[in-house]
Amino acid sequence: MARICAITGKRPTTGSIIHRKGQSKKSGGIGTHVTKTTKRKFRPNVQRVKVRLPSGQVKRMWVSVKAIKAGLVEKA
């Protein structure tokens, strides 16, 4: 399944998990240091819903929850 919203075009984006080690300067240490970074994905909350199109046709689409809450989709 391609996690892409049919209305807003939201899609997965990439980022990093950053692992830090050490005691912070604020609590008396010499500061934290990055020991490892790994790739990760931020996936949008996409649901499969029945949508009524402007032509009156009903179709199932992958739509982000943000679009549903904003009222951009007329549910069938």
What domains, with CATH codes, occur in the chain?
13-70 (2.30.170)
- Distance from chain centroid for Cα 38: 18
pTM comes to 0.71
3-class secondary structure, 67: helix
Helices and strands per DSSP (H, E), number in the chain: 1, 4
pLDDT tens per residue across span 14-71:
999 999 999 999 999 999 999 999 999 999 999 999 999 989 999 999 999 999 999 9
pLDDT in tens, 17-29: 999 999 999 999 9
Answer whether residue 2 shows pLDDT above 70. yes
Contact call for residues 72 and 46 (beta carbons, < 8 A): no
Q: How far apart are CA 69 and CA 45, in angstroms?
A: 12
